[in-house]
Amino acid sequence: MLRHVSIVNQINVISMGIDGVLQIGDSNMIASRNRDILVQREESFYLAQEGSFEKYVMFTDAEITIPTRQTSVRMHVVNTNPFVRVDFVEIISLLSSGIIHIGSTDYVFNNSRILQIRQFISEDPFEETPSERSLIP
């Protein structure tokens, strides 16, 4: 792998959550994996059994195919300037296996799975209640 010198003058990160990665410099391999279950309800209560990843098929890695590398590729690269220069980077939010990487990477594999569950009291959460209807002329 080609090596570079990474020069960064300034990085401003406002919010960085779970599984977010900020890396400056070269790397051989980055493997990032994230699993989330998000539950949104009109009434606040928590069910202990609903946080189990095994309960949902989407969190298994059986369906993920990782591409195989082709090693028979021949390349000849000449870097007249081996520097990676970055003046300023501003990141508002970096979440869910997000990666900011300044430099060279030989192999990257990211896998993020998020299940969002929304539970409403009424069948149609956008339906007007009788009191709201009486306010409309």
Confidence class of residue 137 from pLDDT cuts 50, 70 and 90? very low
Delimit the domains of the chain by residue range.
5-64+84-123
pTM value is 0.59
The 10s digit of each residue's pLDDT in 16-66 is 877 788 888 888 888 877 888 888 887 777 777 777 888 888 887 776 666
pLDDT band at 12 (very low <50, low <70, confident <90, very high): very high
**Contact criterion met (CB below 8 Å) for 8 and 25:** no
**What's the CA gap between 64 and 46, in Å, rounded?**
31
Strand partners, 12: 90
Q: What is the pLDDT of residue 11?
A: 92
Kindly tell me the burial class for residue 35, based on how many C-beta atoms sit within 10 Å of its own C-beta (0-12, 13-18, 19 or more).
Answer: middle
Q: Which pLDDT does position 2 carry in this prediction? A: 57
Query: For the segment 66-91, what is each residue's pLDDT rounded down to a tens digit?
Result: 677 667 777 777 777 788 888 999 99
Tell me if 20 sits within 8 A of 95, measured CB to CB. Answer: yes
